[in-house]
Amino acid sequence: MEKAEARSLVERCLPRFKDAGLSAPDGITDVKVRAIATLWAGMGSVYDLAVSSKNGLQNVVAKRVQLPKWCDSIGDQRKKDSYDVEAAFYQKGHAERLISAGCMVPFPLHVEHSRGEGVTICMTKVEGRASHPRGAEAFVSWLARLHATYWGRRADEACGPDAGGLQLQGCYWHLDTRPDEHRKMPSSGWMGRLKLAARAIDLRLKADPLQSVCHGDAKGANILYASGEGGEAMPLVYDFQYCGKAAVTKDLAYFFNVEAHPSEAEEERLLRLYHSELTKLLGAQGDAPPELAALKTSLELALCDWRRFSEIGLGGWGDDARHRVQKVLDRLDGGRALPNEEAYIDAMQREYPASRNSRLRSLTPPTQREAERVAATNDDADGSSDSEVLELVETVRNRATTWSHEAHKSIMDKLGIQLHEGADVSPPRATFQVRRGSAMV
């Protein structure tokens, strides 16, 4: 970033300085630019802008995202979506909402989009240490405040491009966005069993009553610690690209497994601390808190979900948790692989019901069954009318974040639709180019 460009950017931040607790510069005399981080896949950089004026030196952080011309892979699309989400986090009031709730995050100063080519997010600079002797306790309390703030229906209101802009599915490892890693899992041994159980675990976590907005990447690289007046740890948290709706235990399982590395006794203590904090916060806002037993069950399933991705996608990053994963699998299958994914869904429903009257969604979605009905009963030579096909394809497109690649293709096969070579039917943003006879849909 050139100095003149940086100065212009700082000037566009000035109207928010007072709200952020910064002093309005009395005549900017210089802006020094220093790159402090490079974004994944070379999609931009993070800059420290040191603003000099007659009344001193202040710092602004600018995250500049530069997207490739085409985001045609699942990975590139996931990253693009994540930057849109982070822009929404700072642009749509989420940062201020968390600060008001006692969760310290950067204060937004300016967000601008570059005609679909990227986004620039300017925020206050958070300063602290990478660790603190009581950092784990402080951070699980921070998570409790985050989760209480968006508990239940509040998460739905905060997520999606037509709502609050956060991820419809929080956390970067959820199954729908990681089909390649799932496909690469071995088909034998405990990982083969986990591969078959992955869809059941995913569905159970989606149905979990403990839903809120999760941070989605709660590791040490995204946390700094300041010290309060009494020496207590104060987490300063950033990087909200994968912030969105999920079972709250996904944040906990990830943080414990890759960052805190607690002993069994220490994890129990931290989980009880989190539960105590969450219970107080939910009670104060009129929400019924979860039982500790429900939190523990959800945590074990969330750990299985994380290790499903980590074992392949990140080379096993994090503590070895296979004994805990195998304990869950043993309860589902008795120590021997079940025949298929549907069998694991049935076992999950039996052994880990989300609630007394709930049932996990079948792998055969309602729209797929409707597609089968249309294809079987319509009198048209093609098997169904163009209007019905258009409606079904649109439904598939809208649900692309929750259906697997195979489910998308299965629906099209049932309708007798031929997919063009190269057509993208992969979540999270499936687009369909299909031909029925001589008509394009």
Structure-block tokens of residue 97:
């909402």
CA distance 28 to 373: 68
CA distances from 7 to 13, 109, 112, 255 (A): 10, 14, 15, 38
CA distances from 209 to 157, 172, 339, 402 (A): 16, 21, 28, 18
The 8-class DSSP code of residue 185 comes to: S
Do residues 437 and 382 make contact, with C-beta atoms less than 8 angstroms apart? yes
Q: What is the pLDDT of residue 367?
A: 41
Q: What is the pLDDT of residue 116?
A: 66
Residue appearing with tokens 């319509």: 378
CA distance 409 to 417: 9
**What is the full per-residue pLDDT of the chain (441 aa) written as tens digits?**
888 999 999 999 999 999 999 988 888 899 999 999 998 878 899 999 999 988 889 999 999 998 877 777 788 888 889 999 999 999 999 999 999 999 999 999 999 988 767 899 999 999 999 999 999 999 999 999 999 999 999 999 999 988 899 999 999 999 999 999 999 999 999 999 999 999 999 999 999 999 999 999 999 999 999 998 888 999 999 999 999 999 999 999 999 999 999 999 999 999 999 999 999 999 999 999 999 999 999 999 999 999 999 999 999 999 999 999 999 999 999 999 999 999 999 999 999 999 766 677 654 444 444 444 444 444 343 444 444 444 444 444 444 433 444 444 544 454 444 444 444 444 433 333 433 333 333
Residue appearing with tokens 């990478």: 130
The vertex-167 CA angle with 48 and 325, nearest 5°, equals 105
The DSSP secondary structure of 91-155, one letter per residue, reads HTTHHHHHHHTT-B-PPEEEEEE-TTSEEEEEEEPP--BS--TTHHHHHHHHHHHHHHHTTTHHH
Looking only at the bridges linking them, the beta strands covering 434-436 and 418-419 are antiparallel
Cα–Cα nearest to 143, from 275, 289, 286? 275
Structure-block tokens of residue 105:
């995050």
Q: What is the pLDDT of residue 117?
A: 79
Contacts 24+ apart (CB under 8 A), 349-357: 352/204, 352/297, 352/301, 354/204, 354/207, 354/208, 354/209, 355/207, 355/209
Q: What is the pLDDT of residue 419?
A: 44
CA distance 112 to 309: 33
Q: What is the pLDDT of residue 375?
A: 45
Do residues 252 and 227 make contact, with C-beta atoms less than 8 angstroms apart? no
Enumerate domains of the chain plus CATH numbers.
Answer: 3-124 (3.30.200.20), 135-351 (3.90.1200), 366-440 (no CATH)
Q: What is the pLDDT of residue 356?
A: 66
Structure-block tokens of residue 317:
């990053």
CA distance 272 to 249: 13
